[in-house]
């Protein structure tokens, strides 16, 4: 959410930003906010004025009564009652006006960073760099489910019976690989100075609307029936929510967290859930990175975060590339974002395995996360990034480390988490 002062003082900048994001249909929201804000401030000013007059006249009534000027006192009482009635009406309109303003402010997008390329959608994202040489196997690489099935590592049919499409049973060495990668990711991030956290897996609606846009919430979140609780789609939600309505000490910044959680997503608009695949699914697990920092440090930590993911994947012998998200592909809260994509030898192309975002102070304003500076309070900046999200990540891992005989090489970094095995062998 933007600072309303920016909308008051520079509405054209806010409108121009919306046009860069190809949100022409929302531009009128800026004028609506300005109009409502004028009404709200006029209402509040008049209400404050009436409170002052009421207090002044109330004292005057006491003086007149003491002087036995009863008739004059009665006249003043009538005036106080008139002011009180007007005040009740004004106070009744303040909250609805605030709600109308907030409703519009929540869908006005964050100001995008000046380095973000302009583009309408993800087809216009810009490749930033490639790390690792994309491999072309000297044999046909099977579909990832076929690889897993030869390792006796997945059962989608049973999951379909218990839960429907978009769920899975991982078993044996593949299940161990899944858990091993998450454990390795945890230790990898701890070694880089991040504190490990296991957060709540459900959050209240006030946190949901603080950490994400309405469109994202509708397409992603599962609500717990009969309760004000939602299943998280990523641990970023509860990790940033941890700081709701908090004033942080500047000396304690930055907060560097790496968090583990299961994640639950409806995947609305994902062109259906694959019957045989673990790329788009309703349930998965993820290791995440979260940073809460001073505004002047957020650009630095943005580079740190996505490079952590790049380095992690390279230790697992998976080539990756970094894509700069264009203006039209940025979610409303994001000021800047890059996607980390892994190489698929089977498809001979890259696919997304993580997303790194700088939200500047947009989340902090929604959640009231402030920092006590030397002279004043200010809003913190928040960032997040995926370390790894299996089982999707398993697709890239298995394809890149697959041998022609169906065995899968285990990179050196991962071997301590796999019983020091060098390979996973097919099961007969």
E-assigned strands of 31-102?
none
Q: Do 36 and 126 share a structural domain?
A: no
Q: Do 182 and 140 share a structural domain?
A: yes
Q: Do 39 and 183 share a structural domain?
A: no
Query: Which of 71, 105, 139 marks a domain boundary?
Result: 105
Q: Domain for residue 322, yes or no?
A: yes
Q: Phi, psi at residue 227, to the nearest 5°?
A: -135, 155
Question: How many whole angstroms separate alpha carbon 224 and alpha carbon 312?
Answer: 35
CATH code for the domain in which residue 328 is found? 3.30.930.10
Q: Do 342 and 286 share a structural domain?
A: yes
- Which mean pLDDT values do the consecutive 10-residue runs of the chain (428 residues) have? 94 97 96 95 88 82 79 79 85 90 94 97 95 92 95 95 93 97 98 98 93 78 94 95 97 97 80 71 95 98 97 96 96 96 95 95 96 95 96 94 96 97 93
Q: Domain for residue 112, yes or no?
A: no
pLDDT value at residue 188: 98
Q: Do 243 and 132 share a structural domain?
A: yes
Q: Are 317 and 411 in contact (CB under 8 A)?
A: yes
Q: Domain for residue 113, yes or no?
A: no
Q: Domain for residue 114, yes or no?
A: no
pLDDT in tens, 361-397: 999 999 999 999 999 999 999 999 999 999 889 999 9
Q: What angle do CA 130, 133, 135 make, to 5 degrees?
A: 130
Query: Which of 57, 73, 105 marks a domain boundary?
Result: 105
Question: How many whole angstroms separate alpha carbon 77 and alpha carbon 75?
Answer: 5
Query: Which of 38, 73, 105 marks a domain boundary?
Result: 105
pLDDT in tens, 143-189: 999 999 999 999 999 999 999 988 999 999 999 999 999 999 999 99
pLDDT value at residue 59: 80
In Å, what is the CA distance from 411 to each residue of 180, 348, 415?
12, 21, 7
Q: Which domain holds residue 304?
A: 122-424
pLDDT value at residue 270: 53
Q: Do 347 and 285 share a structural domain?
A: yes
Q: Domain for residue 320, yes or no?
A: yes
Q: Domain for residue 186, yes or no?
A: yes
Q: Domain for residue 83, yes or no?
A: yes
Q: Domain for residue 345, yes or no?
A: yes
pLDDT value at residue 148: 96
DSSP label of 35: H
CATH code for the domain in which residue 22 is found? 1.10.287.40
Q: Do 189 and 96 share a structural domain?
A: no
Q: Do 129 and 100 share a structural domain?
A: no
Q: Do 263 and 146 share a structural domain?
A: yes
Q: Do 362 and 419 share a structural domain?
A: yes
Q: Do 46 and 183 share a structural domain?
A: no
Q: Do 173 and 65 share a structural domain?
A: no
pTM comes to 0.88
How many domains does the chain divide into? 2
């Amino acid at each position: 959410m933007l600072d309303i002062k920016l909308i008051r003082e520079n509405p054209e900048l806010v409108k121009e930003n919306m046009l860069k994001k190809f949100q022409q249909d929302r531009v009128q929201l800026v004028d609506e906010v300005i109009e409502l804000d004028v009404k709200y401030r006029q209402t509040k000013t008049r209400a404050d004025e009436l409170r002052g007059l009421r207090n002044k006249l109330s004292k005057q009534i006491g003086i007149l009564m003491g002087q036995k000027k009863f008739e004059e006192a009665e006249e003043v009482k009538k005036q106080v009652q008139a002011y009180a009635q007007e005040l009740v009406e004004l106070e009744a309109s303040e909250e609805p006006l605030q709600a109308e303003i907030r409703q519009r402010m929540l869908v006005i997008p964050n100001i995008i960073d000046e380095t973000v390329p302009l583009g309408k959608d993800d087809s216009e994202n810009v490749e930033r760099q490639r790390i690792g040489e994309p491999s072309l196997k000297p044999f046909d690489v099977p579909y990832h489910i076929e690889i897993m099935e030869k390792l006796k590592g997945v059962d989608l049919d049973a999951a379909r019976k218990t839960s429907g499409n978009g769920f899975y049973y991982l078993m044996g060495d593949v299940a161990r690989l899944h858990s091993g990668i998450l454990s390795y990711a945890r230790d990898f991030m701890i070694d880089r100075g991040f504190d490990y956290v296991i957060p709540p897996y459900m959050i209240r609606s006030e946190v949901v609307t603080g950490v994400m846009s309405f469109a994202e919430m509708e397409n992603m979140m599962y609500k717990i029936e009969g309760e004000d609780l939602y299943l998280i789609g990523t641990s970023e939600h509860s990790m940033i929510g941890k700081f709701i309505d908090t004033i942080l000490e500047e000396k304690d910044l930055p907060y560097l967290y790496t968090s583990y959680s299961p994640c639950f997503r409806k995947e609305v608009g994902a062109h259906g859930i694959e019957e045989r695949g673990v790329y788009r699914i309703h349930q998965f697990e993820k290791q995440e990175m979260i940073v809460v920092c001073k505004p002047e440090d957020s650009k630095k930590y943005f580079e740190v975060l996505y490079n952590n993911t790049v380095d992690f994947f390279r230790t697992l012998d998976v080539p990756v590339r970094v894509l700069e998200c264009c203006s039209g592909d940025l979610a409303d809260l994001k000021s800047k974002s890059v996607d980390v994509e892994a190489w698929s030898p089977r498809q001979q192309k890259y696919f997304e395995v993580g997303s790194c975002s700088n939200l500047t102070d947009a989340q902090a304003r929604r959640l009231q996360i402030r920092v006590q500076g030397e002279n004043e309070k200010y809003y913190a900046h928040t960032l997040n990034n995926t370390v790894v999200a299996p089982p999707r990540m398993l697709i890239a891992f298995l394809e890149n480390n697959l041998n022609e005989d169906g065995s899968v090489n285990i990179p050196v970094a991962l071997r301590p988490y796999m019983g020091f095995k060098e390979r996973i062998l097919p099961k007969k």
